[in-house]
Chain A
C-alpha cells in the first residue's frame, strides 16, 4: 500500500488483535461459573466470536510483518510489554455487572469501529470488519440489555452496576487514542481513526445508561492508559501466565 509502512500497519492490527484475544480470555473465565446456564453459554459464545476475530487479525498481522510468525506465535509467544491491548480489557472480571458493562463499553466501541472499517481500502481488513460487525452487533445487544436490567433492577443490582460504571469509566478514554502507526494508514483510507468515534460512542452509552436509570457521566476524560504502549496493569502478568501456559510448557504444540 503506497505511503503506508507495513511495520506500522502491523503494530496497529496487532493492537486490535490483542484487545480481542485478551477480552476473549477474560470472558472465557466465566465458562462454568456464570450465574445461570443460559449465560454460561452466552458469554463463551461471545468469547469465541472475539477469539475468531483475533485469529484472523493475528494471521494478517503476521503476513504484514513478513517474518514468518503465525497466529499462535503472535498470540502466545510474546512478552508482556509486547502486548498492546487496552487496559480496559485486561482488568479482572469482577462481578457479573463489571463483566457485562466492560463488554458493553468495548463492544459498542468496536461496532462503530467495524462500521468504518468495512469501507477500508485494505481488502482483508474490510472483509474482517464485515464479518465482525454482525457478531459485534449481537455483543452490544446482549450486553446492553444486561446493563439495562441490572441498572434498573433490584437495589443490589443497581448499586453493583453503578459501582462498575465508576470503576470502568477511567479506562474508556484509551479506546480513542490512536496508537502507533495509525495516522498514516488513516489518511490512506486503510485504518479507522478511533478519536473520531468518541462522540458517537458517548451518545450510545448515554442512551443505554438513561434506559438503565444510571447517572449519565462523561466517559471520555479518563486517565488510565498505557496498554497501547505495552505498559500493563498487574492483572496482565497473571492473565498471560494462564493464557500462555500450554505453549510455554510444550513449545510448538498443536492439536
Chain B
C-alpha cells in the first residue's frame, strides 16, 4: 500500500577512503533525506561505510538486456585488448 507512494532508491556505500562507492542494495524512502538515513540504518550497521550515496532508482538509465548481442558480444574475440601479452618484471610486483 505505502510502497506505491514511497519511491525506491539505490544505495551506494564507500567502505574506505580511496575506494569507490559500490552498489549495495535498494530501499524505500519518502525523499532524499530519509533515504540517506534509511541507508545508514539498513546498510551500515556493522561499520561498512565511510560515505553513502543514494540515487532514485527511476533516475538510473539502464541498458536493455535484449541489446546484449550488439553491446557486449563484439568484445569477446578481441583478446588483444587484454594486456596479457606483456612480461611484467618481478620488481614491479603487483600490478
Give A contacts to B, CB under 8 Å: 35-39, 41-42, 45, 138, 141-142, 145, 149
Contacts and interface: CB of A to CB of B under 8 A. Distances in A.
Main secondary structure of the interface of A (DSSP, over half): helix
B33 interface: yes
Nearest to A48: B45
Given A141-B37, A145-B37, A36 B2 contact: yes
A41 B45 contact: yes
Given A45-B41, A45-B45, A141-B37, A38 B30 contact: no
B45 A38 contact: no
Interface of B: 2, 6, 27-31, 33-34, 37-38, 40-42, 45
Contact of A41 (B28, B30, B42): B42
A60 to B, nearest CB: 26
B33 A145 contact: yes
Nearest to B9: A38
19 contacts: A35-B2, A37-B27, A37-B28, A38-B27, A38-B29, A38-B38, A38-B41, A41-B42, A41-B45, A42-B38, A42-B41, A45-B45, A141-B37, A142-B37, A145-B34, A145-B37, A149-B30, A149-B31, A149-B34
Q: Give 5 closest A-B pairs by Cβ, nearest first.
A: A38-B38, A42-B41, A41-B41, A38-B27, A45-B41
A42 B37 CA distance: 9
B2 A38 contact: no
Contacts of B2: 35-36
A36 B6 contact: yes
A149 B10 CA distance: 21
Contacts of A42: 37-38, 41
Nearest to A146: B34
A138 B45 CA distance: 13
Given A38-B42, A149-B31, 8 more contacts: A36-B6, A36-B28, A38-B27, A38-B29, A38-B38, A41-B41, A45-B41, A149-B34
A53 B29 CA distance: 29
Contacts of B29: 38
A141 B28 CA distance: 18
Contacts of B40: 138
B66 to A, nearest CB: 32
B50 to A, nearest CB: 15
Query: Which of A38, A39, A142, A149: most chain B Cβ within 10 A?
Result: A38
Nearest to B3: A36
A42 B33 CA distance: 14
B33 to A, nearest CB: 6
Nearest to B29: A38
Contacts of A138: 40
Query: Which of B2, B30, B33, B37: most chain A Cβ within 10 A?
Result: B37
A149 B31 CA distance: 10
B2 to A, nearest CB: 6
Contacts of B31: 149
Contacts of A38: 27-29, 38, 41-42
A142 B27 CA distance: 16
